[in-house]
C-alpha cells in the first residue's frame, strides 16, 4: 500500500513543483525582494530559454543549421504588439496578453511552414542559406511597413511580461518540446539527423517530421518574441538581426545540442554573461561570435550535448522495464 502512495506522490510531484513555481514567481515581485533589474534578468533568462530550446529542436535534434530564428521571433513580437498597441489598446491585459502571445506564436508558426517545406529537398549549407534569406526578408519587410513604424519600429508597447508570465511560457515551451522529442515524431526528427536515408527506409515520414519540427520551433520563437516585445516596450527591425540569431546559436551550442537541460543551461549562462559584459559596450558584440567559433572548434556538441537530466524526461523513459514487472503483483 505504501508503494502505491509513493508512486502517486512522485507522479504528480513535477506538476506540484511547477505550479508552486508559478505562485512564487507571481508573488515574489510584489514582496519587493526582487528589484527591477533582477526581474529584468530573470525574464530575460526565461525568454532566452524559450528561444534556445526551440532553436535546439531544429539545430540540435534535427541537426540542421537554421540562422533564421530571430526572424520568427520578430514576427511574434510584431504580431503581438500590433494587437496590444494598435488594435485593442483598451482591452483588459489579463485577457489580451495571453491571447496576443498565442497569436504571436501562431503567426511565427505559420511562417515556419514554407521554411519546413523547403527543407524537404534542401539540407545543410543550402538550408542554412535559405533561413538567412528568410531572416533578411522579414527584417527588410518590417522596415518597409509604415504601419509598424518602418525602421524606427513600434513604440509605447505596454510592459506586460511579468516574471510569472515569462515563467509560465517557459514551462509550456519546455513541456511541449519535451513531449515532442520523446514521441515518435521526435525520434523521427533525430533519425533524420543521424541518417535521413535510413530513416526513410525505416518508414519515418520525414516530411511530417520536418514540418512538425519547423512549425513547433518557430511557434515558440514567436512566443518568445511576443514576451520580448512586452518586456522591452519597444521593438524595431534591427532588434531581430543576424546578431540576435547568433546569440541564440551560442546558447544552443554552449548548453548542448539535442538537450533540454543544455538549453536551460545555455540560456542561463549566456544571459548572465551578456549582463556582465555590459561595461564593454559594443565590444561585447565581438565576444559572443568569438565564443561560437571556440565552441565549434573545441566542443561542437556543447556541455550537455545529446544527454539530458532524468528529471526532464517523461517517466516512461527513466523507469526501467524491470520496475514494471516488479510492480505487476501489486495490481
Residues near other proteins, by CB under 8 A: 176, 179-180, 182-188, 190-191, 194-195, 197-208, 212, 216, 306, 314, 316, 321
Q: How far is CA 183 from CA 113, 189, 203, 281, 316, in A?
A: 21, 10, 15, 44, 11
Nearer Cβ to other proteins (247/308): 308
Q: 3-state class of 235 per DSSP?
A: strand
Cα separation, 41 vs 47, whole angstroms: 10
Cα separation, 52 vs 268, whole angstroms: 10
Cα separation, 312 vs 265, whole angstroms: 13
User: What is the distance, to the nearest Å, from the Cα of residue 95 to the centroid of all Cα atoms in its chain?
Assistant: 23
Q: How far is CA 264 from CA 68, 89, 232, 253, in A?
A: 20, 34, 22, 12
Q: How far is the CB of 182 from other proteins (least distance, A)?
A: 8
Q: How far is the CB of 172 from other proteins (least distance, A)?
A: 11
What backbone phi and psi angles, to 5 degrees, belong to 235? -135, 145
Q: How far is the CB of 98 from other proteins (least distance, A)?
A: 17
Nearer Cβ to other proteins (279/329): 329
Q: Confirm if 221 and 69 have CB atoms less than 8 A apart.
A: yes
Q: How far is the CB of 124 from other proteins (least distance, A)?
A: 18
Dihedral sign from CA coordinates of 313, 316, 317, 319: positive
Q: How far is the CB of 215 from other proteins (least distance, A)?
A: 9
Nearer Cβ to other proteins (2/321): 321
Nearer Cβ to other proteins (134/185): 185
Q: How far is the CB of 256 from other proteins (least distance, A)?
A: 13
Q: Confirm if 240 and 138 have CB atoms less than 8 A apart.
A: yes
Q: Where are the alpha helices (DSSP H) in 182-259?
A: 184-194, 196-201, 206-232, 242-255
Nearer Cβ to other proteins (81/213): 213
Nearer Cβ to other proteins (297/316): 316
Q: How far is the CB of 180 from other proteins (least distance, A)?
A: 6
Nearer Cβ to other proteins (178/284): 178
Amino acid at each position: 500500500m505504501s508503494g502505491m502512495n509513493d508512486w502517486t506522490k512522485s507522479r504528480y510531484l513535477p506538476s506540484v513543483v511547477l505550479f508552486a513555481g508559478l505562485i512564487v514567481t507571481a508573488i515574489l515581485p510584489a514582496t519587493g525582494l526582487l528589484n527591477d533589474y533582477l526581474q529584468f534578468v530573470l525574464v530575460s533568462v526565461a525568454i532566452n530559454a524559450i528561444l534556445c530550446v526551440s532553436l535546439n529542436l531544429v539545430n540540435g535534434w534535427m541537426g540542421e543549421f537554421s540562422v533564421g530564428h530571430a526572424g520568427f521571433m520578430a514576427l511574434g513580437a510584431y504580431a503581438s504588439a500590433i494587437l496590444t498597441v494598435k488594435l485593442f489598446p483598451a482591452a483588459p491585459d489579463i485577457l489580451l496578453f495571453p491571447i496576443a502571445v498565442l497569436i504571436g506564436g501562431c503567426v511565427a508558426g505559420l511562417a515556419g511552414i514554407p521554411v519546413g517545406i523547403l527543407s524537404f529537398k534542401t539540407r545543410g549549407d543550402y538550408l542554412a542559406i535559405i533561413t538567412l534569406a528568410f531572416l533578411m526578408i522579414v527584417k527588410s519587410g518590417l522596415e518597409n511597413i509604415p504601419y509598424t513604424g518602418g525602421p524606427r519600429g513600434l513604440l509605447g508597447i505596454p510592459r506586460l511580461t511579468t516574471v510569472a508570465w515569462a515563467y509560465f511560457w517557459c514551462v509550456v515551451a519546455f513541456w511541449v518540446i519535451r513531449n515532442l522529442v520523446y514521441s515518435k515524431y521526435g525520434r523521427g526528427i533525430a533519425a533524420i539527423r543521424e541518417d535521413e536515408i535510413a530513416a526513410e527506409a525505416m518508414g519515418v515520414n520525414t516530411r511530417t517530421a520536418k514540418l512538425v519540427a519547423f512549425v513547433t520551433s518557430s511557434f515558440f520563437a514567436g512566443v518568445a518574441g511576443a514576451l520580448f516585445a512586452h518586456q522591452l516596450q519597444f521593438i524595431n527591425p534591427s532588434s531581430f538581426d543576424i546578431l540576435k540569431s547568433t546569440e541564440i546559436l551560442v546558447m544552443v551550442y554552449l548548453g548542448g545540442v539535442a538537450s533540454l537541460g543544455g538549453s536551460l543551461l545555455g540560456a542561463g549562462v549566456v544571459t548572465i554573461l551578456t549582463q556582465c559584459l555590459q561595461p564593454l559596450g559594443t565590444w561585447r558584440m565581438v565576444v559572443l561570435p568569438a565564443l561560437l567559433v571556440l565552441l565549434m572548434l573545441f566542443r561542437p556538441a556543447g556541455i550537455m550535448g545529446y544527454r539530458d537530466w532524468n528529471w526532464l524526461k517523461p517517466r516512461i523513459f527513466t523507469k526501467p522495464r524491470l520496475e514494471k514487472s516488479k510492480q505487476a503483483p501489486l495490481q
